[in-house]
A and B are shown apart, each in its own frame.
Chain A
């Protein structure tokens, strides 16, 4: 899968020497990773390894203590989620980050509502746009007027994905996107990742499932206790190699 990524140019995202501590605990300790256009980089590690924390520095949910982020080679300042959105960084959170009491369209456009010329929210147009994009992503989706609390895990996930796709993300962060899904829906997400890759997006994929990472990702970055164990080309290593990195923190010899 990884054979056609061109890594000679400027990386889409470069996170350099990122550190963040909570209390006395160094959740992320001098970690550097990069991401190229059309590439999927998996972030692996135990619970508490620091992968979600690292990525939240990029999405603006946390403010890092030290380190720098470069987007297309330019230094980026990301202090909150609004800043991240300005750099076309979209995040699909593990907890989905949907407002349960609102309908699909309101959630999709939350924070970026379409408005009528007088400045009122244009619910009809937003619903029409939602119907259109959902028709592409998940044609079975019909509950447009129900609050998202009435939706299944897969339907909720497709709302969250639609939000990232609709606003032309360049950099997509997916935090365990398939954790709550059945096999059919997992397949749908995998398909979508393929399509987005082709469109040239860069994707950070946080996942627990090593097999899934090997299947969907080009490279895997493994973290343990807040530190980066290493970044490997998934096709150059075996599942066991990756597991050894996760569990023992041992970097395989063959990978560069």
Chain B
């Protein structure tokens, strides 16, 4: 996904610039492809694609797959695969739905919408994810069963465990607080979105400055100052621009009226409010930052990549690769549980088919994002960008009115072509 139509074979000048800025050309290519995709759909839909409303919807639709894709990066980097994430999501979702509609209100007698309900449900969901993930990891790491087989079995087992738990029924509506993590109901509002955006921008600038200072203190070469400033400006503009777009999506007047009515007030004349940043997107950002830190700055991440690059070398360097496998699948389980929170609260109920085919979307997102199935290579931001590209493609085609069978044909083709381009790119650059 590097050489995109938007950046036909980065010219030598471009490449040098990218090197000076220390920007990954692959990332640049992916962003270019994404922008090109958005522009094409924007044109084909007569300007309905790049609107605040649609961008808002796109981001919340991407969250569930995006969260799991970050975990899939680690799984694939260590030369494994997880085919069970969609089913695992369903089991976690079923457990959480049962907790908040049966366990806390009836068995514990807390009634509906008790403040403890949502946290209790989420803890149950995370626990389920951790236990199942650890179990998968143990089967793979300690018993030596290939991950493909373990998780293929898991695909069937956990889908039907969820079915059995709920008798196949749809369970809902879910707890009010719980639903905040899902969709349009849970957003930060304009002010807090700005606050969050400014904090993010400040953190990004601090990180850039800190890394430069660190390099200088060790006498390593640093980028020219202008490049550093340009990068900082770009990042700040991107963050604040994103917030501005989400804030520009106005809450419909009828909905505002109802919100004011609920508080016993009357909607003032001419009052408007934007949705702002969805809490689910906040969750995705938190996951992405955490996973990136794990990947780049912790021993755990270093061992994950070393094991993917050369499992024997990792073992001989004293890394406990079996335990590492368990840890990787526990992380995957946790992320499936978080995705289950987002997915079930977005649709406001648990359904029997929740997360169906998510394993394929998640793997596709990670792979489009540059994760190599041979192991050892992959990035968190790539996977999230991959998820965003997949989702844009899907909803863009739906908006254009492409027939359903063709939508899937295109998505499948794009996956294969993306990997082909990536293979050619790697060969050329000798990565």
Give residues in A with beta carbon < 8 Å to B.
Answer: 59, 61, 80-82, 85, 91, 93, 95-102, 106-107, 110-113, 115, 119-121, 123-125, 127-128, 150
Tell me which residues from 282 to 320 in chain B have a Cβ below 8 Å from any Cβ of chain A.
Answer: 293, 297-299, 302-303, 305-310, 312-320
Q: A97-B312, A100-B310, A150-B430 are in contact. List 6 more A-B contacts (CB 8 A).
A: A81-B317, A99-B376, A110-B313, A113-B302, A121-B298, A127-B218
Smallest CB–CB gap between B291 and chain A, Å? 14
Asked if residues B218 and A128 are in contact (CB atoms below 8 Å), the reply is: yes
Asked if residues B220 and A100 are in contact (CB atoms below 8 Å), the reply is: no
The distance in angstroms between the C-alpha atoms of A107 and B297, with both chains bound, is: 15
Given contacts A99-B376, A128-B218, whether A120 and B297 have CB atoms under 8 Å apart is: yes
For residue A116, which residue of chain B has the nearest CB?
B297
Most buried by A among B217, B293, B306: B306
Smallest CB–CB gap between A145 and chain B, Å? 9
Smallest CB–CB gap between B141 and chain A, Å? 15
Smallest CB–CB gap between A163 and chain B, Å? 9
Asked if residues A99 and B310 are in contact (CB atoms below 8 Å), the reply is: yes
Asked if residues A97 and B214 are in contact (CB atoms below 8 Å), the reply is: no
Asked if residues B297 and A110 are in contact (CB atoms below 8 Å), the reply is: no
Smallest CB–CB gap between A76 and chain B, Å? 16
List the 6 shortest-distance A-B pairs measured between CB atoms, nearest first. Answer: A101-B309, A99-B309, A111-B317, A101-B376, A82-B318, A99-B306
Q: Does B215 contact A (CB under 8 A)?
A: yes
Smallest CB–CB gap between B103 and chain A, Å? 37
Q: Give the chain A neighbours of B83 by CB distance below 8 A.
A: none
Interface size on B, as a range, is 20 to 34
Q: Give the chain B neighbours of A110 by CB distance below 8 A.
A: 302, 306, 313-314, 317, 319
Q: Does B122 contact A (CB under 8 A)?
A: no
Smallest CB–CB gap between A125 and chain B, Å? 7
Q: Give the chain A neighbours of B214 by CB distance below 8 A.
A: 124
Given contacts A101-B376, A111-B319, A128-B218, whether A121 and B297 have CB atoms under 8 Å apart is: yes
Q: Give the chain B neighbours of A121 by CB distance below 8 A.
A: 297-299, 302
Q: Give the chain B neighbours of A96 by CB distance below 8 A.
A: 313
Q: Does B377 contact A (CB under 8 A)?
A: yes
For residue A109, which residue of chain B has the nearest CB?
B302
Smallest CB–CB gap between A105 and chain B, Å? 11
Give residues in B with beta carbon < 8 Å to A.
Answer: 214-215, 217-220, 293, 297-299, 302-303, 305-310, 312-320, 376-377, 430
Q: Which of B215, B317, B318, B377 contacts A124 (CB 8 A)?
A: B215
Asked if residues A120 and B298 are in contact (CB atoms below 8 Å), the reply is: yes
Most buried by A among B220, B299, B316: B316
Q: Give the chain B neighbours of A128 by CB distance below 8 A.
A: 218-220
Asked if residues B316 and A106 are in contact (CB atoms below 8 Å), the reply is: no
The distance in angstroms between the C-alpha atoms of A81 and B315, with both chains bound, is: 8
The distance in angstroms between the C-alpha atoms of A150 and B309, with both chains bound, is: 13
The distance in angstroms between the C-alpha atoms of A113 and B319, with both chains bound, is: 12
The distance in angstroms between the C-alpha atoms of A91 and B218, with both chains bound, is: 30
Asked if residues B376 and A81 are in contact (CB atoms below 8 Å), the reply is: no
Asked if residues B297 and A81 are in contact (CB atoms below 8 Å), the reply is: no
Asked if residues B376 and A97 are in contact (CB atoms below 8 Å), the reply is: no
Q: Which of B215, B314, B318, B320 contacts A99 (CB 8 A)?
A: B314
Smallest CB–CB gap between A80 and chain B, Å? 7
Given contacts A115-B299, A121-B298, A124-B218, whether A106 and B313 have CB atoms under 8 Å apart is: no
Given contacts A102-B306, A110-B306, whether A119 and B313 have CB atoms under 8 Å apart is: no
Smallest CB–CB gap between B209 and chain A, Å? 14
Most buried by A among B217, B220, B310: B310
Q: Give the chain A neighbours of B309 by CB distance below 8 A.
A: 99-102
The distance in angstroms between the C-alpha atoms of A81 and B318, with both chains bound, is: 5
The distance in angstroms between the C-alpha atoms of A81 and B307, with both chains bound, is: 15
Given contacts A81-B315, A97-B316, A124-B220, whether A102 and B305 have CB atoms under 8 Å apart is: yes
The distance in angstroms between the C-alpha atoms of A150 and B429, with both chains bound, is: 11
The distance in angstroms between the C-alpha atoms of A125 and B303, with both chains bound, is: 18
For residue A163, which residue of chain B has the nearest CB?
B317
Smallest CB–CB gap between A160 and chain B, Å? 10
Q: Give the chain B neighbours of A120 by CB distance below 8 A.
A: 293, 297-298
The distance in angstroms between the C-alpha atoms of A110 and B315, with both chains bound, is: 10
The distance in angstroms between the C-alpha atoms of A150 and B377, with both chains bound, is: 15
Asked if residues B302 and A106 are in contact (CB atoms below 8 Å), the reply is: yes
Q: Give the chain A neighbours of B306 by CB distance below 8 A.
A: 99, 101-102, 106-107, 110
Smallest CB–CB gap between A100 and chain B, Å? 5
Q: Give the chain A neighbours of B320 by CB distance below 8 A.
A: 82
Listed by A's residue number, 16 A-B pairs whose Cβ atoms lie within 8 Å are: A82-B318, A97-B313, A97-B316, A99-B309, A101-B308, A101-B309, A101-B376, A101-B377, A106-B302, A110-B313, A110-B317, A111-B303, A111-B319, A113-B299, A124-B220, A125-B218
The distance in angstroms between the C-alpha atoms of A150 and B431, with both chains bound, is: 8
